[in-house]
Amino acid sequence: MGTCQTCLLRADDFDIPAGARTGLPKNLIVQNYFLACLLYPDSDLKLSQAKTSDLFREAIVIEKNKLTDSVLQLFLEPSEPLDFFAGQFINLKSANDLVRSYSLACNPADSKRLELHVKLMRNGQMSNWLFNELQVGETVEFQGATGNSFYNEVNLDQPLLLIGTGTGLAPLLSIVRYAISQGHRGEIILYHGTRYSYGLYQNKLLIEMANTVDNFSYFACLSGGVEFNGTLLGRANELAMQRHKDLTGWQVFVCGEPLMVKDTQQRAYLAGANLDEIHVDPFNLRDLRRRRRK
Ligand SMILES: Cc1cc2nc3c(=O)[nH]c(=O)nc-3n(C[C@H](O)[C@H](O)[C@H](O)COP(=O)(O)OP(=O)(O)OC[C@H]3O[C@@H](n4cnc5c(N)ncnc54)[C@H](O)[C@@H]3O)c2cc1C
Separation of CA 118 and ligand 1 centre (Å): 10
Per DSSP bridges, beta strands 33-35 and 8-11 are antiparallel
Please tell me the distance from the alpha carbon of residue 175 to that of residue 152, in angstroms, as a whole number.
9
Separation of CA 124 and ligand 1 centre (Å): 6
What was the pLDDT predicted at 35?
Answer: 92
Does this model's pTM top 0.75?
A: yes
CATH no. for 160-282: 3.40.50.80
Locate the ligand 1 atom nearest the alpha carbon of residue 116 and give its number: 8
The string of DSSP codes covering 208-272 is HHHHH-TTEEEEEEESSS---TTPEES-HHHHHHHH----TT-EEEEEESHHHHHHHHHHHHHTT
Give percent above pLDDT 90 in the chain: 71
Phi and psi dihedrals of 80, rounded to 5?
A: -130, 150
Name residues whose C-beta falls within 8 Å of residue 292's C-beta, 6 or more positions apart in sequence.
none
Give pLDDT tens digits for 61-89.
Answer: 999 999 999 999 999 999 999 999 999 99
If we measure between CA atoms, which residue out of 218, 133, 136 comes closest to residue 169? 218
Give pLDDT tens digits for 86-114.
Answer: 999 999 999 988 989 999 999 999 999 99
Which protein residue's CA is at the shortest distance from atom 45 of ligand 1?
Answer: 293
48, 10 Cβ separation under 8 angstroms: yes
Please tell me the distance from the alpha carbon of residue 250 to that of residue 95, in angstroms, as a whole number.
42
Per DSSP bridges, beta strands 216-222 and 232-233 are parallel
Is the pLDDT at 164 greater than 50, yes or no?
yes
Domain ranges of the chain: 8-51, 54-146, 160-282
User: Which CATH number is correct for 54-146, 3.40.50.10490, 2.40.30.10, 3.30.470.10, 3.40.800.10?
Assistant: 2.40.30.10
Is the pLDDT at 211 greater than 80, yes or no?
yes
What was the pLDDT predicted at 287?
Answer: 53
Mutate to test the pocket of ligand 1, among 93, 102, 106 (most ligand atoms within 8 A of CB): 102
Please tell me the distance from the alpha carbon of residue 217 to that of residue 237, in angstroms, as a whole number.
15
What was the pLDDT predicted at 293?
Answer: 46
Please tell me the distance from the alpha carbon of residue 116 to that of residue 170, in angstroms, as a whole number.
7
Higher-pLDDT residue of 48 and 238 is 238
Mutate to test the pocket of ligand 1, among 1, 93, 101 (most ligand atoms within 8 A of CB): 101
- Grouping H, G, I as helix, E, B as strand and the rest as coil, residue 38 is helix
Categorize the per-residue pLDDT at 2 as very low, low, confident or very high, splitting at 50, 70 and 90: confident
In this chain, the answer to whether the domains covering 54-146 and 160-282 adopt an identical fold is: no
Bridge partners of 79? none
